[in-house]
Amino acid sequence: MMLAEIFKALGDPVRLRLFQLLANRDELCVCHLTEALDLPQSTVSRHLGVLRHAGLVQTRREGKWMHYCLTGGMASKLAVLIAEFSADESFQKDKERLRQTLE
């Protein structure tokens, strides 16, 4: 995967928020991500597809649910870099909604 494609995938605010949430968990179901971001399932799935195509996430199906996690060394390195800048209020709200959803 070309580096430009990876940064293009992360250049969208929704995809960046999804990536950050996945970076903090081993694996998350689409249903949890839709709750955390307060977005429709179709929107979240479409953005996750872009991240998957860029090689940043991988999927696992469990019945009708898709679970996503970061994949590869590049994704891990980017997650560390992005975490340094994740003091943004929207990231904190996403994390809090995810925590509440998972409880």
Percentage of the chain lying above the pLDDT 90 cut: 55
Its pTM stands at 0.86
What confidence score (pLDDT) does residue 86 get? 66
Q: Residue 1: which pLDDT band, with cuts at 50, 70 and 90?
A: low
Cα 71 to Cα 27, 47, 58, 94, 96, distances in angstroms: 11, 16, 6, 21, 24
Q: What is the mean pLDDT of residues 65-89?
A: 80
Average pLDDT, the chain: 88
Q: State which fold the 3-98 domain adopts.
A: Arc Repressor Mutant, subunit A (1.10.10)
Burial class for 17, CB neighbours closer than 10 Å (0-12, 13-18, 19+): buried
